[in-house]
Amino acid sequence: MLVTPDLPSVRLATRLAAPEPGWTVHADAVVVGSGIAGLTAALELRTRVGRVLLVTKGVLSSGSTVWAQGGIAAALDPADSPAAHLQDTLAAGGGLCDPRAVETLVTEGPRRVRQLVARGAVFDTTADGEISLTREGGHLTDRIAHAGGDATGAEISRALVAQIEAVRDDPGIEVVEHALVLDVLTGAPGADGAPGAVAGVTLHVIGEGSRDGVGAALAPVVVLATGGIGQVYRSSTNPAQATGDGIAAALRAGALLGDLEFVQFHPTVLWLGTGVKGQLTLVSEAVRGEGALLLDTDGVRFMPDVHPLAELAPRDVVAHAIVRRTAATGSDHVWLDARHLGADFFARRFPTIHERLAEHGIDPATDLVPVAPAQHYHSGGVVTDLDGRSSLTGLYAVGEVACTGVHGANRLASNSLLEGLVFAHRAARDVAARLEGGFLPRVDPSPRPGPEALVPAASRARVQRAATDGPGVLRSADGLRRSLATLAAIPTDAHERRDDGRRLGEPQLAEWETTNVHQVATVLALAALAREESRGGHARSDFPLTKEEWRVRVGVNSGSDGTVEIGPHPVG
């Protein structure tokens, strides 16, 4: 029988402190985010529903997809199969993958990748014109399609953005750039107190004219495609806009979240010193796929003693091995040795990485590359079914913000782009069918009970330290409880004043983002404290073994008064 630990009581705000909306726009569906999942969902919805509003935090091309180096995984080779891809995904997921979700991913994946090509994405090809495939950690065969060597995400983003630009003048779609979604609006709660159906979103647009400042986009459907949580941590491979906005908004609206504790730390991120923070340079797993080796600071290769796949073991295995090796050698990093690959090959196969290394005076043909783990991907998020539906009527989630059950405890390399692609298609089809069938009626927004919050932007570094020191690469109960205590002590009251009478923070972008970062860090640490075992991307020094009774999903949601509720849920 599963016995969950005593957890501290946590109450979070149910809405952000913000001015009342000064303008309103109506749509059939609002898509939030412009990575592969958001762009695909918007394109598919445009041909299926009357009006789509696509909201992005920066410009269209600024989604997280553009930073994806390695590629997109799919069984494209006749010698490969969806069944083999499924087995590799399940093995990496540490027993927590939903097999139905994985089967959906691997069987629909090849067709969706070929549709990407039809939409203009240009992948690297072999001499006979077939898509060139390589291998990454956890895959037992070559099935990673790539573009521009190590610029796969950038090429996919370019192709999809071009498709959106081609229909910008279509009255059935509107693109709103430089817009932060604040909260998901919901209708009146049910008689049992359950959250009401989705009514739209509030958002803040940085610009001029009718779409300036805080407004409301009213729609019976909201599709969250907001990407990851990288800025919750001190250092990450994620861009600056990855502040967990979608997860935080879904939490405040009362949606069920899951697998939050499973954070993937990429093993090989360029190490530039202990004081470096912000977005760091990723050295793709594909470099190890082409034969690069990991050495400790004494020059000893250590991965063959850790896992049969050595440098191509699943990412959590490699990251944990590096952390333990650096502790044993008293070092802050290890070395990636790609010298034997040759200068011409490295520059041709990995032009982006080669350029980034050169900016720091590193030549991989002659130099060892210093690397260490850093936050890279979040396997958890808003719990959805196979069609992207969340626990709230009308709220969908696709891409990294979603918890589909595909990744389980640890994402298999290059499955993320495929997940966003496959489930965005499925969500769009489901939205259209349910709108047409009258199952997603428009409802009026209802005022949400509970407190509102605004965390001062000046507190962000403190939040990030707490997340890095608590639910970091290696965790313990003591460290997690310290992090939760630190996070609880940070002022969140939107009306709290300083000694001189001024508010601690004003409702604006930096404060809203910091509030989201704070809420995500809090529930992440709470979920990590609840799971008393080690599995996949969640490693506890005080519970180093994997336990069969923990083959469950840790679910997290917020009650109507903001009280965080946490408990086990079945997987799938």
| Residues annotated as part of the active site | 315
Contact call for residues 468 and 517 (beta carbons, < 8 A)? no
Distance CA 472, CA 242 (A): 17
Contact call for residues 52 and 40 (beta carbons, < 8 A): no
| Angle (nearest 5°) at CA 483 between 479 and 487 | 175
Contact between residue 17 and residue 452 where contact means Cβ atoms under 8 Å apart = yes
DSSP alpha helix (H) spans, 456-508: 460-469, 477-489
Name the pairing type of β-strands 257-258 and 213-218. unpaired
Distances (CA, A) of 322 to 286, 466, 480, 534: 18, 22, 21, 17
Q: How far apart are CA 248 and CA 244, in angstroms?
A: 6
Token pair 């817009």: residue: 179
What b/e string do you get for 125-164 counting C-beta neighbours within 10 Å, with b at 16 or more?
A: eeeeeebbbbbbbbbeebbbbbbbbbbbbbbbbbbbbebb
Strand 52-55 versus strand 173-176 pairing type:
parallel
Find how far residue 412's CA is from the centre of its chain.
14
Find how far residue 364's CA is from the centre of its chain: 30
Phi-psi region of 278 (alpha: psi -120 to 50; beta: other; left: phi over 0): left
Sign of CA dihedral 145, 149, 150, 152: negative
**Phi, psi at 281, each rounded to 5°:** -80, 120
The answer to whether the CB of 552 falls within 8 A of the CB of 568 is yes
Rounded-to-integer distance, Cα 227 and Cα 146, Å: 21
